[in-house]
Amino acid sequence: MSAAHGTATGDFKLGLPPITLGPRQTALQRQFIFGTAGTSIFDNNMTTSFDVGVLNSKDFYAGMMTPLQLSDVNLLLNQGYSRELVLLLVIESLKVTDVTNLKPGEDESHARSLIFYNDPRNRLFSDVSASGLKVASFEGFIYEAMTHGLTTEAFVAAVEPPPASTTTESAGSAPGLKVYISNAPTVAPTKVQVRLCYDYALATPKGRLDFQPNSPRCGAGTTTPEQEKARSAKLPVVLEGRKLEIEVKTRSIFGIFRYLGELIRNSDMDKVHLHHYDDLPAETTQDSQLLTIAHRSDDCFVSASYEGEKYCVPQANEDNTKQIFTILNSLLALKTSPGDLPITQSVRLTP
């Protein structure tokens, strides 16, 4: 249902029945009528109605549960939000494949792969001993993504190559007269796409040394369909002398809500932090907690009560949590259409 409607009506009337006075009731007699059945001397009407919007439609949940696209991430990064804040919110997991010992043309199924979940309860979130690499934890890869300038970029991609120029003889030409039609090449249609890439301006001097010739670099410009097919969906990079390919999996809006809720429920808020990077002069970074929720009800940016507990986002010095509110509101507006939301959520009482 997209809405539920209810109406209640109460009607109470009080009146006198018709009364005829006079002797001998005849058809021609005079009658003094004080009231009729349709006339009321006391009347009271009451109508109660309410409209309730129910967010339980197919389209609404499709928008909530579909993983975010790179175009959505690109919009957030272009609004001035911290790269690390956006990455921690939208990335669900990283699949890392070690292709160091892989021979040219060899199937990548022979290479070792690990999945690092963005979950403080997962031992690969911060345990560096499980993979053989010192950096190999989810926190470590986010750190490397920051120092290597990982970001998104909108670029123009050609849809199909232009057709070749041809000349054909027109059918039905008059005797002695030949008419030729030239099919000149047209401009190839293009479309704007978004990709993950390494921005040299955002990378540290040390991070730039790890790039490979096939590492996607920002600023490549227009690409052809053949170039797009040749591009890997994975991010090649060298870390600690190992050639790695990293595949990024994004969350849905529902996944972001669940992730933040689990941080609160499991008391893991102090385990997820943003960091200050001294070697990133192009960005302002600071050490701060991703999410901060206090148990109080005063001096709050926003507060709520749930099962007898008070939850509060402190008004002062908690910009990350406030920005998360703004990001979630923006994503909800982007991923849901007006038809998915109730037109009215009012309750009306009419005496």
Between 2 and 60, whose confidence is greater? Answer: 60
Q: What is the largest CA-CA distance in the chain?
A: 123
Average pLDDT over residues 118-127: 83
pLDDT at position 335 is: 80
Distance, in Å, from the CA atom of 204 to the CA atom of 211, rounded to the nearest integer, reads: 12
For 178-187, 247-256, 321-330, which range has the lowest pLDDT when averaged over its residues? Answer: 178-187
Is 28's pLDDT higher than 60? no
pLDDT attached to residue 158: 64
* CA 69/CA 234 separation, integer angstroms: 15
Q: How confident is the model at residue 266 (pLDDT cuts 50, 70, 90)?
A: very high
Residue of 285, 322, 284, 290 whose CA lies nearest to 89: 290
Mean residue pLDDT across the chain: 77
255-268 mean pLDDT: 94
pLDDT recorded at residue 264: 92
Lowest-confidence segment of 90-94, 221-225, 334-338 by average pLDDT = 221-225
Segments making up each domain of the chain, as ranges: 3-21+35-53, 60-161+188-290+319-334
- What is the pLDDT, as a whole number, of residue 137? 86
**Taking the model in full, what pTM does it have?**
0.71
Residue 221 binned pLDDT confidence (cut-offs 50, 70, 90) = low
pLDDT for res 131? 44
pLDDT of residue 129: 46
Please, which pLDDT band fits residue 297 given cuts at 50, 70 and 90?
Answer: confident
CA distance 115 to 248: 10
* pLDDT value at residue 2: 47
∠ Cα 18 22 28 (to 5°): 85
Measured CA to CA in angstroms, residue 25 lies from 16, 120, 213 at distances of: 20, 96, 116
Please state, for a pLDDT cut of 70, what percent of the chain lies above it.
64
Instruction: Return the pLDDT at 73.
Output: 93
Max mean pLDDT range (145-149, 159-163, 347-351):
145-149
